[in-house]
Structure 1
């Protein structure tokens, strides 16, 4: 686990990303990924969303696409979507199917083509959000989960807006147990949007 860094978020992110690279190449990774996908299947069964926004994994983020494609093919009313980063640093979601041409963003993230007339914008029922790090806090008896991302603020801006348009929206953070940060390492700021659930290899936390 990375040590204390005060305000040096850049250093903390870099250490977490380096650790994720080593973790993804390690012997325990396949089992951890299997446990993660089992937890995702449990979540989908419990919450029963009609549409899920996923992500194309970069920098050793866990690849959940096979599980989600299986989920989508099990019911023709299930839809998958991918985020597109707008110039105003908000995300827009477009329906996605395997085989769609994806275009790399300026951050090298493969994105849907908003000009693809066969795909339409959608506010999904559920958004899967990969974490560089994550933390947990308690308010009364309720747990809150927070995501440390890459620093662009796209998800926080987008969630603040989408939650007004769709109060039932569910946000599921995706990460591993070792990525959990304590208050000495990182604390969520006022502009950070909480996650509704946190999925790790050991548990679905909500």
Structure 2
């Protein structure tokens, strides 16, 4: 892996993830992530009633079966998927298994924003897949950062949503080996921090 540019770093990480997904270790790591997710949701049961998830692309961990089970296990719980607006912000719409999804211009399956049966949702928690991630420490506080695909959608959206909903929890989803050292990549001023990072080793949280 090299840090010549964020673009080349992303390409390296995505190639590594593709290789990792073809190995026996992938399913073991994904099961561990799902176990960590279940523990996180149990510990935040009163705080989280709605979760924005993602449709996995390019070998991202698939959380959908576990989250559908979570949503169905208690009345009032809801799931949502992101819809990418032309201004590079995300809106979230209610999602249920079997809903028709439409590929975005980036090839990501998205909900239909015009579906009257699936209203827009402001989630309590957003689960965000990472291409890479890093950790930094300022004083006695640890921050976690996400390297994404470079579109800036999540950073713009989080900056806006956090003003409207300070209790919002943003959790990165990734693998241990995706952790980046400062020599590889450092978060920029426009990057929004994650509230927690969830990998096969468990939950790393800022509080």
Global fold match (TM > 0.5): yes
Alpha-carbon shift at residue 29 of structure 1 (Å): 1.1
Q: 2:56 aligned with 1:43, yes or no?
A: no
Q: 2:102 aligned with 1:103, yes or no?
A: yes
Q: Map of 1:135-174 to 2, 5 A cutoff?
A: 135-174=134-173
Distance 2:120 2:55 in 1: 17
Alpha-carbon shift at residue 22 of structure 1 (Å): 0.6
* Alignment RMSD (CA, Å): 0.6
Matching residue of 2:91 = 92
Q: 2:193 aligned with 1:194, yes or no?
A: yes
Q: Which runs of 5+ in 2 are unaligned?
A: none
Alpha-carbon shift at residue 203 of structure 1 (Å): 1.7
Alpha-carbon shift at residue 27 of structure 1 (Å): 1.0
Q: Which runs of 5+ in 1 are unaligned?
A: none
Matching residue of 2:125 = 126
Distance 1:100 1:61 in 2: 20
Alpha-carbon shift at residue 5 of structure 1 (Å): 1.9
Aligned pair partner of 1:26 in 23, 26, 31: 23
Give the 4+ runs in structure 1 shifted more than 4 A.
none
SS of residue in 2 equivalent to 1:28: helix
Distance 1:76 1:61 in 2: 29
TM-score normalized by structure 1?
0.97
